[in-house]
Amino acid sequence: MNARSALLFASLAAAMLASAPARAEPDKLRGEQGEARREAQAGNIMRSGEIEAKILPQMRDAEYLGFAYDSTARAYRLKFIKDGRVTYVDVDARTGRIIGRSR
């Protein structure tokens, strides 16, 4: 990891910590991430860890930055960076199949 990547990672981590609630209980989660948790617990979609385990090896030359869940599309969007370029990988949350890539 070069200095620029380390700085970017540290900045993202600090921003996430600053915006995180002091304590979030699973039954009180709101928004898309809470919806993803509920859908996964109900068995309607794959868990984020399962998706990551399937997709990350395919993107081994890029740094993984995280994911977001779209409940309307029932899709995960994984974010990667390589050589200063961001790539998004859209994955069907039910099947784990890649449905799109964008830069």
Q: Which amino acid is present at 26?
A: P
Mean pLDDT, residues 68-73 taken together: 93
Structural domain of residue 46, as residue ranges? 3-102
Closest residue by Cα to residue 87 from 75, 76, 101, 73: 101
Residue tagged 């600090």 (tokens): 14
pLDDT at 16: 54
Residue with more model confidence, 30 or 82: 82
If one counts the domains in the chain, the total is 1
pLDDT exceeds cutoff 90 at 23: no
The reported pTM is: 0.68
The answer, yes or no, to whether residue 29 has pLDDT greater than 60, is no
CA distance 26 to 34: 8
Nearest to 78 by CA among 60, 46, 51: 51
List the end-to-end C-alpha distance of the chain, in Å, as a whole number: 21
